[in-house]
Amino acid sequence: MRIYAGLIFLSVVVFTQQIEAQGRMNDPANSFLVFGSISVPRGDFGRDVGSAAYITRRNGYYFGDLVGLAKNGWGVGAEVYLPIRSLRGADWVFSGQLLISSPNISAIKDIFQTDVGDSLSLAIDLSDWINFPIMTGMRYRQDLMDDASLYAVLQGGINISKEPNRRITVSGNVAEDTKFNSYLGFGFEAGVGVILFNRYNLSVRYLNLGTPSFTGTRTLSPEYFPTIVTRESKILGDQRKVEMFQIILGIEL
């Protein structure tokens, strides 16, 4: 219920801001930023192995609590800035990003390989982490000199997150095939940056997308998990913490 109430509240805030800004969309003072980014995972999101990582006879391969196994990633995005007339140097910000991070499986593979033994070959195939944050907030800009400005930005909003699907094979046979559903949650972003020549934007930001609790479907092979009651089971809440630093380089239009 809290999630839905938060979504309704955020929708009202965004709608109100859009109504206020609609009459100013053609204002020449408005600006747009298109950018690319490099993301560096922070905390559990970038950890290779979580606590209690092991193979369970009924639940397959458990990667550990909260860990994301994420490596450095990349992203693309855009922001729209609408000046706040009553506050000099301040803008409303509307943004959207697509963030991709590949998992690092080397450490967790070593643990599982030890469990299955040297006589069997283990392969772990994971898709990428996908995050799509859509946010709104404020930017405050202060001119340092004619061709350089410093700014701070703070945003909050929703995020559509997707945990990597995984397929684990032992000696060429699929032991586990797990697929996750997308998760709709909340997050925030804070950062500082510099604008050069009123065009080039370089920023460092902290992005916290909370702790999504993913649902999905896990299929286990009875050959490797003979005590399972059913081959296919539902995943009701796989929690992973998503947190990162970003380096953003873009062009304001």
pLDDT, tens only, 139-184: 999 999 889 999 999 999 999 999 999 999 998 899 999 999 999 9
Local confidence band at 64 (pLDDT 50, 70, 90 cut-offs): confident
What is the average pLDDT value for the chain, to the nearest integer? 87
How far is 249 from 227, CA to CA, in rounded Å?
52
pLDDT at 7 over 50: no
pLDDT at 1 over 70: no
- Asked if the structure places residue 92 within a domain, the reply is yes
Lowest mean pLDDT among 28-37, 136-145, 232-241: 28-37
- Asked if the structure places residue 8 within a domain, the reply is no
- Asked if the structure places residue 130 within a domain, the reply is yes
pLDDT at 16 over 80: no
The Cα angle at residue 32 between residues 143 and 42, in degrees rounded to 5 = 80
- pLDDT (tens digit, 9 = 90+) per residue, 68-103? 999 999 999 999 999 998 899 999 999 999 999 999
- Asked if the structure places residue 67 within a domain, the reply is yes
- Asked if the structure places residue 1 within a domain, the reply is no
Q: Which domain holds residue 225?
A: 27-252
Q: Check which CATH number belongs to the domain holding 197 and give it.
A: 2.40.160.20
- Asked if the structure places residue 13 within a domain, the reply is no
DSSP string, 73-131: EEEEEEEEEEE-TTSTTEEEEEEEEEEEE-B--HHHHHHHHHHH-TTS-EEEEE--EEE
- pLDDT (tens digit, 9 = 90+) per residue, 35-59? 999 999 999 999 987 666 777 777 7
- Asked if the structure places residue 12 within a domain, the reply is no
- Total domain count, the chain: 1
